[in-house]
Amino acid sequence: MSRPPHILIVEALYYTHIAAHLRKGAERALEAAGATYEVVSVPGAFEVPAAVGIAARSSRRFDGFVALGCVIRGETTHYDHICAESARGLQDLAARDGLAIGYGILTVENEAQALARASAAERDKGGEAVRACLSLLHLKRRFDGEQNDNAERAAAPRSATAGQRVGS
């Protein structure tokens, strides 16, 4: 049996009351999954990708990451830049470094939308981000396990026809 996953929650505290709801849902989902976790906080959504990157490159072992935060549209284009760059930064890390990252940064028009999405009793986007992270982690472990389990057979030539799985 594999060990339980150890996850890092990175929460943006710009809207602390919304962050608290997201975190509550995330913690509940992690506990239900039997995962262990740590939490670090950053000022806003823009800093979340940097924190994930720093943690991923540290000597600490994290199996996955959950990004939580909220960006509410204001009167300027700042909203567009923060939303795009936080999402792009996390996706770049996930794709380049093979990280399991659950995205729970809300991008909304107003506080009412944010609260509805953050609440564990309503849309539970914090819990949803955890489930996405764990799903990616399961996929990552599956591929890593297949590679390790099939190491002795790796040298043997194999082929497959269309629609057939190789090494199943």
Write out the catalytic residue numbers.
78
Cα distance between residue 111 and residue 70, in whole Å: 9
Residues 20 and 51: beta-carbon distance below 8 Å: no
Residues 51 and 10: beta-carbon distance below 8 Å: yes
Cα distance between residue 65 and residue 129, in whole Å: 9
Q: Give Cβ neighbours of residue 167 (< 8 Å, ≥ 6 apart).
A: 146, 150, 153, 158
